[in-house]
């Protein structure tokens, strides 16, 4: 079964607005990561948050992690048309070593 599940499946916003995507998972994790995928391309690593961290920032990205609720959110502030992509969360479980399990992704469309 999928470890990570993103919500919403699709999100459409205007340029300049903030975009929030959520991820839920089922088992205990070592860390949670967010990736971005432009259409027909490979995934690009955005940010990693460890299980003992609650919030992390990188540029316009803010990630939160709530291990009690087994959930994470990715906030993209002041969105741009170039942010249009699919965003995936991925987790590595405490017993899964380095292998990651990916959710099904959120398709973000930022309209100019």
Partner 1 sequence: DGGITQSPKYLFRKEGQNVTLSCEQNLNHDAMYWYRQDPGQGLRLIYYSQIVNDFQKGDIAEGYSVSREKKESFPLTVTSAQKNPTAFYLCASTGLIWGGYTFGSGTRLTVV
Which residues are at the interface with partner 1 (CB under 8 A)? 2, 4, 30-31, 33, 35, 40-45, 48, 88, 90, 92, 97-105
Question: What is the C-alpha to C-alpha distance for residues 60 and 44, in angstroms, rounded to an integer?
Answer: 16
- Cβ closer to partner 1: 78 or 84? 84
Tokens 């070592």 belong to 30
Name the minimum Å distance from CB 77 to partner 1.
Answer: 22
Question: Closest CB to partner 1 among 4 and 70?
Answer: 4
Q: Which residues pair with 91 in a beta bridge?
A: 32, 101
Q: Is 81 helix (H, G, I), strand (E, B) or coil?
A: helix
Q: Which residue, 97 or 112, has its beta carbon nearer to partner 1?
A: 97
Q: For residues 34 and 38, what is the distance between their CA atoms, to the nearest angstrom?
A: 14
Q: How far is the CB of 16 from partner 1 (least distance, A)?
A: 27
């Amino acid at each position: 079964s999928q470890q990570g599940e993103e919500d919403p499946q699709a999100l459409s916003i205007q340029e300049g607005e903030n975009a929030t995507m959520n991820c839920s998972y089922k088992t205990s994790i070592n860390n949670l990561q967010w990736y971005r995928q432009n259409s027909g391309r490979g995934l690009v690593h955005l940010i990693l948050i460890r299980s003992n961290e609650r919030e992390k920032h990188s540029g316009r990205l803010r990630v939160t992690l709530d291990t009690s609720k087994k959930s994470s959110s990715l906030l993209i502030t002041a969105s741009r048309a170039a942010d249009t992509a699919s965003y995936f969360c991925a987790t590595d479980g405490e017993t899964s070593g380095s292998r990651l399990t990916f959710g099904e992704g959120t398709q973000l469309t930022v309209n100019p």
